[in-house]
């Protein structure tokens, strides 16, 4: 990029776009001036114009600008042609500004200062980009939106809510998304054990989601309404696969083992939540264990065929986690993690 010194400053401006009008008629205005498009003025010409107006001497101005006099003369001539105005007038051996030149001079200085301010601001933003934090893995379910609101409340006062960007998952696992740098945070129920060995991913527990049991309306447990984990020992658990919820199965298994038994399972392939809802209408002797938020979403037409049972044991839950790269130096992420770590573990619990 060319650098032209004027006064005691250096401009790194290449082009200055001059907008002749501030409304929709600007294009028509440009056509009347003999152009088929908006006027584009070379910022170097604007600077050379101000320097020549200051000295009124081509030789001295060319020397100050470290350029040849013929080049300066050519540029000023081209600038006058572009403007369709005469800026300087020769009187013998002397040079003076025309009336038009004198009227344009203050605007030229202002334009140069504006471009310098723009360039300086752009340089600052490159070194100090606006606060931004991207997160993925969220769904439209209650706990996800609650977590999102919680995160916004932690950063809003310092960075503003607009710095948080929610991105789609695009069928990538958390490690892939974080390693690729697509996002700063992934919200996921995946167990830590799924992280590759030597992974640079850190896991932060942000909430616990209470688990609930759904049984067939004819199941003997259906009449209880409230049960303990041990009441499920003789039941066959639905082990759903092919859906993101399947990643949380290990927590259900661990909860049962804490209560002295390994759950008997029957695998069921589900591609989405609607299939799980349909499964609730024909559970038979099986029990479906899901987050407590799921039971509240069962459609009215399916509710007569099943019963949602509250599980009294407080440890019958699964953690909801935020995952991020340890070497991510995003200041918003650093602040967010510090605030969450200073809270009770976990800071949120969904009943």
- pLDDT(1) > 70: no
DSSP letter at 93? T
Q: What is the pLDDT of residue 138?
A: 66
End-to-end Cα spacing for the chain: 61
**Between 128 and 3, the higher pLDDT residue:** 128
Which of 162, 160, 163, 192 shows the shortest CA–CA distance to 175?
192
pLDDT tens digits, 118-152: 999 888 877 777 888 888 876 666 777 888 888 88
Percent of the chain at pLDDT exceeding 90:
34
pLDDT tens digits, 190-223: 555 556 666 788 888 888 888 889 999 999 999 9
Q: What is the pLDDT of residue 28?
A: 40
Q: What is the pLDDT of residue 131?
A: 83
Fold of the domain built from segment(s) 4-127: Arc Repressor Mutant, subunit A (1.10.10)
**Between 102 and 314, the higher pLDDT residue:** 102
Which of 181, 159, 163, 164 shows the shortest CA–CA distance to 172?
181
The residues with which 6 forms a beta bridge, in sequence order, are 9
Can you tell me the mean pLDDT for 83-99?
Answer: 92
pTM exceeding 0.85: no
What is the distance between the alpha carbons of residues 66 and 300, in angstroms, rounded to a whole number? 82
What are the start and end residues of each CATH 1.10.10.10 domain in the chain? 4-127
Q: What is the pLDDT of residue 194?
A: 58
Q: What is the pLDDT of residue 201?
A: 85
For residue 333, give the 3-state DSSP assignment: helix
Q: What is the pLDDT of residue 290?
A: 86
Q: What is the pLDDT of residue 124?
A: 82
Q: What is the pLDDT of residue 163?
A: 86
62-76, 100-114, 229-243: least confident range: 229-243
- pLDDT(112) > 70: yes
- pLDDT(18) > 60: no
Handedness of CA 46, 50, 56, 62 (dihedral sign): negative
Percent of the chain at pLDDT exceeding 70:
82
Determine if the peptide bond prior to 170 is cis (ω within 30°): no
Q: What is the pLDDT of residue 169?
A: 67
Residue 97 phi, psi dihedral angles, 5° rounding: -75, 140
Q: What is the pLDDT of residue 159?
A: 85
Can you tell me the mean pLDDT for 33-40?
Answer: 45
Residue 56 phi, psi dihedral angles, 5° rounding: 50, 40
From residue 254, give the alpha-carbon distance in Å to each of 141, 237, 239, 259.
Answer: 24, 13, 14, 9
pLDDT tens digits, 287-339: 998 888 887 788 888 889 999 999 988 888 888 888 898 899 888 899 999 99
- pLDDT(8) > 50: no
For the chain, the average pLDDT equals 81
**In terms of CATH architecture, what is 133-350?**
3-Layer(aba) Sandwich (3.40)
What is the distance between the alpha carbons of residues 224 and 210, in angstroms, rounded to a whole number? 18
pLDDT band at 108 (very low <50, low <70, confident <90, very high): very high
């Amino acid at each position: 990029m060319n650098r032209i010194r004027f006064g005691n400053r250096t401009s790194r401006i290449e082009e200055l776009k001059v907008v002749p009008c501030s409304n929709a008629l600007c294009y028509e205005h440009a056509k009347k001036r003999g152009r088929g498009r908006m006027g584009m003025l070379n910022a170097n010409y604007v600077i050379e114009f101000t320097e020549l107006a200051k000295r009124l001497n081509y030789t001295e101005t060319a020397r100050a600008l470290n350029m040849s006099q013929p080049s300066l003369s050519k540029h000023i001539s081209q600038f006058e042609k572009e403007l369709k105005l005469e800026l300087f007038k020769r009187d013998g051996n002397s040079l003076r500004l025309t009336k038009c030149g004198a009227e344009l001079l203050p605007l030229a200085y202002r334009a140069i200062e504006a471009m310098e301010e723009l360039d300086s601001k752009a340089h600052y933003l490159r070194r100090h980009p606006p606060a931004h934090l991207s997160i993925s893995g969220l769904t439209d379910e209650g706990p996800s939106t609650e977590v999102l609101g919680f995160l916004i409340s932690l950063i809003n006062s310092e960075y503003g809510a607009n710095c948080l960007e929610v991105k789609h998952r695009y069928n990538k696992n958390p490690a892939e998304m974080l390693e690729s740098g697509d996002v700063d945070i992934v919200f996921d129920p995946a167990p830590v054990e799924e992280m590759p060995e030597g992974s640079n991913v850190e896991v932060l527990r942000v909430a616990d989601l209470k688990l609930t049991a759904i049984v067939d309306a004819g199941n003997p447990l259906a009449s209880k309404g409230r049960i303990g984990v041990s009441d499920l020992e003789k039941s066959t658990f639905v082990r759903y696969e092919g859906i993101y919820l399947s990643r949380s199965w290990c927590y259900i298994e661990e909860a049962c083992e804490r209560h002295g038994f390994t759950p008997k399972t029957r695998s069921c392939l589900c591609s989405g939540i609607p299939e799980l809802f349909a499964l609730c209408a024909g559970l038979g002797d099986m029990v479906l264990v899901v987050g407590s938020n799921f039971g509240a979403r069962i459609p009215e037409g399916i509710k007569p065929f099943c019963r949602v049972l509250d599980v009294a044991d407080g440890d019958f839950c699964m953690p909801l986690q935020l995952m991020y790269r340890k070497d991510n130096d995003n200041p918003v992420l650093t602040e967010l993690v510090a605030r969450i770590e200073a809270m009770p573990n976990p800071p949120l619990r969904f009943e």
